[in-house]
A and B are shown apart, each in its own frame.
Chain A
Amino acid sequence: MKIDVSLHKPEIKLESLKEDIKDFLKTSGWEKKLQNAVYSQLNVFPSPCHPAAPPEHMKEPLAYMRKAQGSWEKRILKSLNSMCTELGVPLAQKRSASEQKELLNKWNEMGTDEPDLSLFRPVYAPKDFLEVLMNLRNPNYENGDQPSFRNHLGLIQVPLKVKDIPELKEDFTELGLNIGQLGIDDSAQVPPEFFENEHVRVGQKVLAEQDSAAAQQYVRQGCPTALRADLWALILNISNQPEDILYYEQLKSNVIQHDLLVDSLIYKDVKLTASNDDYYFVFEDYLYQVLLCFSRDTSVLEHFTYSSATPPKSYIRGKLGMEEYAVFYPPNGVIPFHGFSMYVAPLCFLYHEPSKLYQIFREMYVRFFFRLHSISSHPSGIVSLCLLFETLLQTHLPQLFYHLREIGAQPLRISFKWMVRAFSGYLATDQLLLLWDRILGYNSLEILAVLAAAVFAFRAVNLMEVTSLAAAEAVLADLSTLKVMPLLQIFLFATVT
């Protein structure tokens, strides 16, 4: 940030220089920008640890979870290495000059490419990850074989603290029955004078003030479609300055120069998921432009200080074991799994400029999405979300929970894939964006678990009739007609507890 204070003006006096600079910061809007930047950092970074705590404690305080994450990562590395050896493809190599030129020419239409990806397979799918989470055990916890009050009735057996409905009601006050919501009070039957017009007016004011904290509070009641892109950018503190555009161009040149095995995994994932989706197939080219650059972005490595995961390491060919030639692979340390591209797809509805779309996705990833595929005890981590879902269902729909368990259809087996993808690809896009408004507004992913439980509650009558896991899956196969905000409101505020 460069501040150009013109010191030649006669009004500026030496004695009051300090005050003048403070006033200048206020009037030029830089004070607000500084506030937004500080607020953004407070949201992303966890509170400082005890000084005696080692760095791994900030990543994950529980030792057995760190160990489990380490084993899981080792499995992924082995899988990737064996794919490499089988296919005879190196993890990374430099592209020849002609290949580079060819890629540059078709940068905007990489979707038209049809490379042979039949031999590539995704490194892992959500159901493999669920198996690992099901086997997670605290060695200091009494996990007897006999069923007792110690064993949880669901699939997750670790005793993390999760919230109950009274605590969730307090946290999600703005979703209450007597507070206006977009997604409920903007429907065709409700005259816009009651809520919608005023809400839009307040939204415009928030954007004019450029205040991140106010925007975060505002989106808890939903974003008007016209203002959503700007409001999310304000909350995530993305301004798309020239240096950001330049950084994106540099990433693009890195993609052109080096070919990574991970690129083929990304291609395959996009072709298998987003390209087959009715809503997202039009954005296929954007997805490549974002995800290929994402793999080369070393700034993503910073999030590993507060994530329980560790980036995979490798050595330059022929220099095994020599620390000066140690590199991270991929450069951003994140190995994509089956469905990863669905984190980006909904954002394509909001942002059309590749550099801005890229930055928004990167910020969403290092704030939220990384928690959905790593093992940690964080309240927004996938383990806590699974336990929260199971506990909510068991407490408030005990008959349904028991019935599904008896027929061999543990509810988490069905809802896990929804939560890992943050419901992307399962809900209609407008409903998904209303849900992600609340994720940003509350800076937490717990709403995913609450929605999953609310969906089961909504279809409880049908689910009580099924007699097998396959039939239960069929009842819950299509969520595209669901309206998320009424479901959440009823589950949290209108269910008799």
Chain B
Amino acid sequence: MSGAAGPGPPVGPGRSPLPCAPRPAAALQLSGGTEPTRPGVAVIDLRFPRGAAADVSAAWGGTVQEIVFKNFYTAFLSVRVQRPGPGGSRRWVTCLRDMCLMPCPHTEQGAQDYFSLHRNQMLCDMDQVTAVRFILRQPSPVWLQFTIEELQIFPTGQKSPQTDLPSWLSQLTPPEQPASLHGELPDPEKVSTEVQQMWVLTEVIRTRQAAARIGRFDVDGCYDVNLLSYT
């Protein structure tokens, strides 16, 4: 299984990953060895195509917001990025060290799960990145292969997808002090907006009730079924 970015998972509205062509995971080899061994360490290098490849990457300033991938039996992950260093040269910096993907590497826990790495979790700044290197480790000898799949890198400047929250939920007010009525009436505008909010809430709930389950399993009263379908 190569780490190529195949048909990826849906990314959600407003987000598009950077186009990149990761080479398949290359296992570390000891020099001078005659037989191919399984060293338990593999590396995936990502270089971002410059210039004509895509508008997204041409306009991209090299900032990485989030890295999303699907694990395939990798136990520990380290990530290094190549950034410009002092004096104009480019250096490799470790931004994630030995993140545990599989708590128990001999067993299946976490083996095929999806993971997100956010720029806030990284040890260094994810700006002006020109290349990313993923170092995969799988110390357990029981697995035939290990890699990461469906790799997607999201630049900053795009809204991360948010699940649809109803508008009233995002306007939850903190518990207020009870209004003091000594000598003054409460502001009628304030009172009427509060009552309006509550009315909107009841209306929303009332309209939603139509989706209650009816429980019909037949089609227009007919449920004559002959054989089960295999597809």
Measuring CB to CB, which residues of chain A are less than 8 angstroms from any residue of chain B? Answer: 14-19, 21, 49-54, 57, 61-63, 74, 77-78, 80-81, 84-85, 90-94, 138-142, 150, 158-161, 247, 250-251, 254, 258, 296-299, 312-317, 320, 324-329, 331, 377
Contact = CB atoms under 8 A, between A and B. Distances in A.
Q: Which 4 A-B pairs have the closest CB atoms?
A: A331-B217, A50-B114, A161-B107, A92-B225
A250 B161 CA distance: 42
B225 A160 contact: no
- Is chain B's interface secondary structure helix, strand, loop, or mixed overall? loop
Given A50-B116, A142-B143, A161-B104, A317 B224 contact: yes
Nearest to B215: A298
Given A15-B186, A94-B224, A316-B219, A161 B143 contact: no
Nearest to B150: A52
A11 to B, nearest CB: 14
A150 B143 CA distance: 10
Contacts of B111: 61-62
Contact of A141 (B11, B113, B142, B195): B142
B191 A138 contact: no
Contact of B143 (A53, A141, A160, A320): A141
A80 B228 contact: yes
Interface of B: 9-12, 68, 70, 72-73, 103-104, 106-109, 111-116, 141-145, 150, 152, 161, 163, 178-179, 181, 186, 191, 194-195, 198, 213, 215-219, 222-231
28 contacts: A16-B178, A21-B198, A50-B114, A51-B161, A52-B68, A52-B116, A52-B150, A61-B111, A61-B112, A84-B226, A85-B227, A90-B224, A91-B227, A92-B223, A94-B222, A94-B223, A141-B142, A141-B144, A142-B141, A159-B107, A161-B107, A161-B109, A247-B215, A298-B213, A313-B228, A313-B231, A327-B225, A331-B217
A138 B112 CA distance: 12
Nearest to A82: B227
A258 B223 CA distance: 7
Given A49-B114, A142-B141, A17 B194 contact: yes
A379 B12 CA distance: 31
Given A50-B114, A159-B142, A250 B215 contact: yes
A50 B112 CA distance: 12
B189 to A, nearest CB: 12
